[in-house]
Amino acid sequence: MTYEVVWTDEAFTAAQAFMVEDPAGLTEVFDRVDDLVTDPRPPAAFPWGLSGVLRLRVGRYRVLYEINDPIIRIDVLHLGRTG
């Protein structure tokens, strides 16, 4: 099964801003998010609180996303950077 990935406006705007400063890092983020279409629950993803949101760390970035199994979609909710 292949999931559709949808970025919220907030997450996409953050990605655009980070792309200016760190294109290589964002390429890695996009590659890892693309991998979620076939493996939405990789071992590197952890629950973020009790909300059903998952956190995936990619280098210095953190991707928060939600899996919507009934419609086979992954919603990328937030992209942030640590450090």
pLDDT at residue 49 in the model: 86
The dihedral sign for the CA sequence 57, 62, 64, 69: negative
**pLDDT tens-digit map of 28-41:** 999 999 999 999 99
The dihedral formed by the CA atoms of 25, 28, 30 and 35, expressed in degrees to the nearest 10: -160
- State the angle between helix axes of 23-35 and 9-21 in degrees (0 to 180), rounded to the nearest 10: 140
CA 59 from chain centre, in angstroms, equals 12
CATH number of 4-37+44-77: 3.30.2310.20
pLDDT at residue 57 in the model: 96
